[in-house]
Amino acid sequence: MLISYKLGQTSIVLRVKILDSSVTTGAGKTGLAYNTAGLTIAAIADNEATTTAYTSAGSTIEDITTLGTYEAPTATKCRFKELDATNHPGVYEIHLANARYAVANAKSLLVSIGGPTGAAETDAVIPLTSFDPYDGVRAGMTSLPNAVPGAAGGLLIAGTNAPVTITGSGNALTLQSTGANGAALKCIGNGSGHGADLGGGTTGDGIHAVGNTSGHGLYCYSDESGHGIYARSGLTGDGIRALGGATSGDGVHIEGPADGDGIYVKGVGTNQYGIYVEGYAGLYAKSTAANGAGIFAVGAGTNGAGIYGRCDDGIGIGGFSDHADGKGIQARNAKGIGLQVQSSQGVAFQISGITTGLDIDASDGPGVDIDGTTYGIDVTASAGDAIRAVGSQYDVNADVHGTIDFAGLTAAALQDIAQGIGGGIEV
């Protein structure tokens, strides 16, 4: 007979059947007791050379008080009792010392019963395993979680799992797909939940993504009205911080679809910026389309600005075009002011051109509307002409409203201005 137990298991109630050797029917032998003459019980592990034997003659076999309830025998002894002569004829219960099931490195225990007249020799082999066949959760294997699979603290299953937290030194979790175009990790949020909620360490990144030869370190895609990326920073941190490659890589490279925006940024609150950029060129934008704009910005509200440039030392907004008909900066507004420049100190608007410094074309309304507390325009030249105008079709009465103060200019300079404009200014 085979009854398996874990090596080292305690309180084992062993039941064996002893046949009646005086008959040929295979009936069980009844009527044996712990003190039946000639009774011998012997036990030996598979890795032992010496048997531990118990005999009624040596009084090392004791009775059992309550059947089915393990009762530790006295040292060097075992216990023996008939189970039920009517319903289980020939079946007997044996209680061995716990040490018999705990022999180091043993794989099985052999128990032999014999000796009484009419009792056939009986052997019971008990496998001793390193796992616990009576542990319904993890079979006694301590390297496995002691919880139901899928439950908190249990093994992950291909189905519904309780929320799982994985901790570890180094990379706590590494996933790699071996499929042709498979994703190592696919996360889908529910309702207002995030597909992935990632937080960096004290100085670490929430996401550290490295692309391969032509693959993306991070590729985000959104269906319908959801965001491909929604980033929100803490009190002083950055929602997204991107560093370009050391040679020629871009920190952020964004392309919009056929009719969509490559990037849509909105600042919320008074004096807050949709984009705040610092650097040698805080923002460099170039259009590759035939008539595209490097930056197309639309302001909103009475005091809103499509682009608001500020620099404490240098140029707030600088524009450059390498095409003969291109515009470094083009400002257009359906209503209001196309370009407004204000400076608390220094020059509000500085123009330098190889062919044309300033080219103004207004189809309706003033091409330039200048309002100053002291001067609308204050022109000073250390050498050459302060104002130089060339052309014969200027109508000063129509194009200039108010007065122009040319105090400090020589008569020759004023005469040049009058002749260039076409006589609309009296000198």
Residues present in the chain in total = 427
User: If you ran DSSP here, which 8-state letter would residue 356 be given?
Assistant: -
Q: Check: CB of residue 360 under 8 Å from CB of residue 368.
A: yes
pLDDT of the residue at 202: 78
pLDDT of the residue at 326: 73
pLDDT of the residue at 394: 43
pLDDT of the residue at 405: 57
The side-by-side arrangement of strands in the sheet containing 78-84 is 14-17, 88-95, 78-84, 61-62
Q: Check: CB of residue 147 under 8 Å from CB of residue 154.
A: yes
Q: Which of 114, 129, 144 is the last residue in one of the domains?
A: 129
pLDDT of the residue at 365: 66
- What is the number of domains present in the chain? 2
Decide: helix, strand or coil at residue 421: helix
Phi, psi at 5, each rounded to 5°: -135, 160
What gap in Å lies between CA 126 and CA 239, rounded to an integer? 65
Domain annotation covers residue 219: no
Domain annotation covers residue 105: yes
Q: Which of 93, 113, 129 is the last residue in one of the domains?
A: 129
Q: Which of 129, 156, 186 is the last residue in one of the domains?
A: 129
pLDDT of the residue at 22: 93
Domain annotation covers residue 28: yes
Listed in sequence order, the residues at least 6 apart from 36 whose beta carbon sits closer than 8 Å to its beta carbon are 56, 116
pTM given for the model:
0.46
Q: Which domain holds residue 376?
A: 370-427
pLDDT of the residue at 400: 45
Pick out the chain residues at pLDDT < 50. Answer: 391-402, 422-427
Domain annotation covers residue 43: yes
Domain annotation covers residue 96: yes
pLDDT of the residue at 130: 92
Domain annotation covers residue 238: no
Domain annotation covers residue 102: yes
Angle at 9 between CA 55 and CA 140, to 5 degrees: 160
Q: Check: CB of residue 31 under 8 Å from CB of residue 82.
A: yes
Query: Could you tell me which of 168, 177, 255, 243 has the C-alpha nearest to residue 219?
Result: 255
Residue with tokens 């123009």: 351
Domain annotation covers residue 375: yes
> Which H or E element spans position 52?
strand 52-55
Residue type, 384: G
Question: Token digits for 365?
Answer: 């309304």
pLDDT of the residue at 396: 44
Strand partners, 20: 119
Residue type, 76: T
pLDDT of the residue at 392: 44
